Structure 1
Amino acid sequence: MKGVLKITLGACCLTSACSDTLVYGERSGVNIAIRSDGAEGQPLEINTGLERHVMGYVPPRDPAGGEAVSMIASFDLKRKAGSTRFEDKVGIKTVFVSGAAANSLGGNNAGVKAILDRPGVTASSAPSDQSNTGKILRWVSSDKAKAAEYLAFIDRYGGTRGSRANVFANTQLAASNGQNAALNAQFIALKKI
């Protein structure tokens, strides 16, 4: 299986060398081992583990050198202790942003933080909806007044948004939420973005 993965990865890297193609791959494994050995003095031993592999191949846009294809990625592992070790809760969150969405966040630390801090949201897969999300985020940029104006529109017409203290996090959640696709299109038309 690993051989097939290496061959596939190698083929992707070779074929992408002729274009602005970003290749991203990840693999996760959760392992649990339970052992009982009365002779060692420990009645029960339990080990858990997480194995994680992430690979990003980011070619330059120009073969002679220059800027690479934009990419933002994050991995977050959190453990919340339960009343016993067997009731602990483990959460794994990954974030991957590339292309126009990553370009629009260039230099916008609040926007990047909003993406990394956001809970799970189902984004629309329609290219026009994704384009509208990018338009709204570029229009808002790092302007709190514009973010508040957009969120007031979403609230006024029954859209879905986050309830975080960070206005940019709420803007990111609302703009990228597929349930707000029609409202996003109306807002863009209203503001002539």
Structure 2
Amino acid sequence: MSVVPPNRSQTGWPRGVNQFGNKYIQQTKPLTLERTINLYPLTNYTFGTKEPLYEKDSSVAARFQRMREEFDKIGMRRTVEGVLIVHEHRLPHVLLLQLGTTFFKLPGGELNPGEDEVEGLKRLMTEILGRQDGVLQDWVIDDCIGNWWRPNFEPPQYPYIPAHITKPKEHKKLFLVQLQEKDFSSY
């Protein structure tokens, strides 16, 4: 004798009714799990040079002191970073910016108070990677692919807000940036 498992959507009471209705479920567009991301060879891109960009702070301690002062004025810092992917030798590679001889980072930075995340990332990408000849680039910002939270004025960041933290100090979002098939950028 075989037993047919119950249809899980019909279990519970009352049958066939969602316990919370739509009260706690955000209505968002459905995730597309089978979407294509176009990766192009690194050789399709030409990188020029710009005047070097410097960090706002001279040390890590100075950075956290500035973060502490800004937190008192505007609250939690919001930062965005762009993940740009190319392929080389048929393997995906993430493009990073090199600062000095030993430090690498994703392009991005701090948002202005009230600034939209996607528009802010486009602004930052243009400042950091934009062309010198003034031609505007059309940055294609696709999805948020990561969230990192800084609970204190210290280096560690976590992909979640620790349970005992009520006021995180920084929220960093990582976005996938689709590159055009061929492009010229300045680093």
TM-score interval for Structure 1 and Structure 2 normalised by the shorter chain: under 0.3
Which structure dedicates a bigger proportion of its chain to helix?
Answer: 1
- TM-score, with length taken from structure 2: 0.24
